[in-house]
């Protein structure tokens, strides 16, 4: 399936294609991939830097080299970064810049982000910042990257004080999603990506949420058709949101459902031991409970979100940091004032509402919430 991300900028190159299929990277030459690459504006005769991580390079390094040669991109180098969130740092960004400078990459050359969200975010930010912007494409390899991070142009790195605090909106020239690459992904990573899929259903598409309630076991047993379906639906939803609001002036914030508390969880764990999707799963359960607390949604809605999260094997209990630690971590998030934070809340499955909430109110809810009974 091909999905267009149309950015409505009245410019000639105002959008890009997301191609979702089996075997894009490892299945040999294919006309549809060639068409997407040729309309992307990439100069395939220019030089390319493939940025990837150790595990992906070990599994698919040869496949990605053949893939590039199949489409006439013969002049490329591969840069392998360590696995894990700690790679999204100023140090590794600087290493990428050094490599581009030392090899005299020019504006007509390009970067390929080949990996999960960590690689997509840092490689995209390197592309955004080198020579004030060179072309790049996303070739995601995790479910999370397929359904969320590879689409929409949010690029960046973490700061020791907070997640994704340094970054840019910078769109790729194409997104090539090879569903076959998911077969080597750890179950925990698959489930991690599934959290972002639940997010789309929970606040934007009740029908999709109902499909996930019935079909989650198929997805989580790596059924290719089910995976393809959820990736297609998620990318379609995200493309529509990004088309309306590329730079998160309004609507796009809906994609942060679960992220206010989720980012705080990640920050408090210093980005170790908890994964992004796991953290936002906890955040979604919290946001749903908060929605009920202020009378926005029913107990039934809270239960359905909590049940799908738990049934998928995602965590839902708030880890045992103090409420004050959560508030302090949330204050480091983007889009907060001293006293308030803009929360994405759920009105009913598939329906959202934005509310500015006082930190004092969230603090008292964190203290009283029955969710806290499970504190470790
Ligand atoms: P990740 O990139 O760290 O990948 C997870 C692990 O899976 C890594 O160890 C990696 O080596 C391994 N891996 C990747 N592909 C594999 C494959 N096909 N087979 C086997 N192993 C494979 O994690 P992630 O969950 O993909 O991404 C998380 C990051 O994405 C976070 O930094 C988060 O902030 C970011 N993110 C960004 C956006 C955005 O819009 N830019 C959206 C959501 C999340
Ligand atoms: N992952 C949220 C966004 O892309 O806006």
Write out pLDDT tens, residues 21-62: 999 998 999 999 999 999 999 999 999 999 999 999 999 999
- Report which ligand 1 atom has the smallest distance to the Cα of 53: 11
Report the pLDDT averaged over residues 232-243. Answer: 96
What global pTM score does this model have?
Answer: 0.95
Q: Which of the ligands is closest to the CA of residue 157? A: 1
Q: Which of 115, 152, 278, 283 to mutate to test the pocket of ligand 1 (most atoms within 8 A of CB)?
A: 115
Residue 333 has pLDDT above 90, yes or no: no
Q: State whether 167 and 231 are in the same domain.
A: no
Q: How far is the CA of 241 from the centre of ligand 2 (A)?
A: 9
Q: State whether 169 and 233 are in the same domain.
A: no
At 10 the pLDDT is: 46
Q: What is the CATH number of the domain that holds 10?
A: 3.40.50.1970
Q: State whether 191 and 229 are in the same domain.
A: yes
Report the pLDDT averaged over residues 107-114. Answer: 97
- Report which ligand 2 atom has the smallest distance to the Cα of 152: 4
- Report which ligand 1 atom has the smallest distance to the Cα of 118: 2
Q: Which of 51, 55, 152 to mutate to test the pocket of ligand 1 (most atoms within 8 A of CB)?
A: 55
At 376 the pLDDT is: 41
Q: State whether 98 and 147 are in the same domain.
A: yes
Task: Count structural domains, the chain.
Answer: 2
Q: How confident is the model at residue 8 (pLDDT cuts 50, 70, 90)?
A: low
Q: State whether 122 and 265 are in the same domain.
A: no
Q: State whether 204 and 178 are in the same domain.
A: no
End position of a domain, from candidates 128, 158, 184 = 184
Q: Which of the ligands is closest to the CA of residue 258? A: 2
Q: How confident is the model at residue 221 (pLDDT cuts 50, 70, 90)?
A: very high
Residue 3 has pLDDT above 90, yes or no: no
Q: State whether 199 and 163 are in the same domain.
A: no
Q: Which residues does 249 contact at the CB level (< 8 Å), separation at least 6?
A: none
* Domain encompassing residue 360: 187-371
Report the pLDDT averaged over residues 214-231. Answer: 97
Residue 11 has pLDDT above 80, yes or no: no
Nearest CA to ligand 2 atom 2: 255
Dump pLDDT digits (tens) for 142-193.
999 999 999 999 999 998 877 788 999 999 999 999 999 999 999 999 999 9
Ligand 1 binding residues, C-beta < 6 A = 53, 55-56, 59, 83-85, 88, 115-119, 121, 141-142, 144-145, 148-149, 152, 154, 164, 181, 184-185, 189, 192, 275-276
At 332 the pLDDT is: 80
Residue 276 has pLDDT above 80, yes or no: yes
End position of a domain, from candidates 150, 184, 218 = 184
At 368 the pLDDT is: 85
Q: State whether 36 and 153 are in the same domain.
A: yes
End position of a domain, from candidates 184, 209, 227 = 184
Mean residue pLDDT of the chain comes to 93
Report the pLDDT averaged over residues 82-90. Answer: 95
Residue 375 has pLDDT above 50, yes or no: no
Residue 376 lies in a domain: no
Q: State whether 159 and 213 are in the same domain.
A: no
- Give the residue numbers annotated as catalytic, written as ranges: 132, 154, 196, 238, 248, 252, 256, 259, 263, 276
Dump pLDDT digits (tens) for 111-132.
999 999 999 999 999 999 999 9
Q: State whether 117 and 93 are in the same domain.
A: yes
- Report which ligand 1 atom has the smallest distance to the Cα of 181: 18
């Amino acid at each position: 399936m091909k999905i267009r991300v149309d950015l409505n900028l009245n410019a000639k190159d105002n959008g890009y294609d997301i191609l979702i299929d089996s075997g894009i990277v490892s299945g040999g030459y294919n006309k549809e991939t060639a068409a997407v690459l040729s309309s992307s504006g990439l100069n395939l005769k220019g030089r390319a830097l493939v940025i990837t991580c150790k595990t992906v390079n070990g599994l698919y390094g040869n496949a990605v080299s053949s893939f590039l040669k199949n489409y006439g991109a013969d002049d490329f180098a591969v840069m392998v970064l360590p696995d894990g969130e700690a790679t999204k740092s100023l140090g590794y960004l600087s290493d990428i810049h050094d490599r581009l400078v030392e090899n005299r990459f020019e504006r007509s050359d390009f970067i390929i982000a080949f990996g999960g969200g960590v690689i997509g975010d840092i490689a995209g930010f390197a592309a955004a910042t080198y020579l004030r912007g060179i072309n790049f494409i996303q070739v995601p390899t995790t479910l999370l990257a397929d359904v969320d991070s590879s689409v929409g142009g949010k690029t960046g790195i973490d700061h020791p004080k907070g997640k994704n605090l340094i970054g840019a909106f910078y769109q790729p020239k194409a997104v090539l999603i090879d569903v076959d690459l998911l077969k080597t992904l750890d179950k925990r990573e698959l489930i991690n990506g599934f959290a972002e899929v639940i997010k789309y259903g929970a606040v934007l598409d009740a029908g999709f949420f109902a499909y996930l309630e019935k079909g989650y076991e198929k997805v989580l047993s790596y059924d290719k058709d089910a995976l393809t379906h959820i990736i297609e639906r998620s990318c379609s939803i995200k493309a529509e949101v990004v088309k309306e609001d590329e730079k998160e002036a309004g609507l796009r914030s809906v994609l942060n459902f679960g992220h206010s508390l989720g980012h705080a969880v990640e920050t408090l764990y210093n980005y170790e031991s908890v994964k992004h999707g796991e953290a936002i799963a906890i955040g979604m359960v919290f946001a749903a409970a908060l929605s009920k607390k202020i009378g926005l949604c029913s107990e039934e809605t809270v239960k359905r979100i909590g049940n799908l999260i738990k049934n998928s094997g995602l965590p839902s209990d708030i880890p045992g940091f103090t409420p004050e630690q959560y508030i302090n971590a949330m204050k480091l998030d983007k889009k907060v004032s001293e006293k308030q934070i803009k929360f994405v809340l759920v009105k009913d499955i598939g329906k959202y509402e934005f509310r500015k909430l006082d930190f004092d109110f969230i603090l008292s809810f964190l203290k009283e919430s029955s969710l806290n009974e499970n504190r470790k």
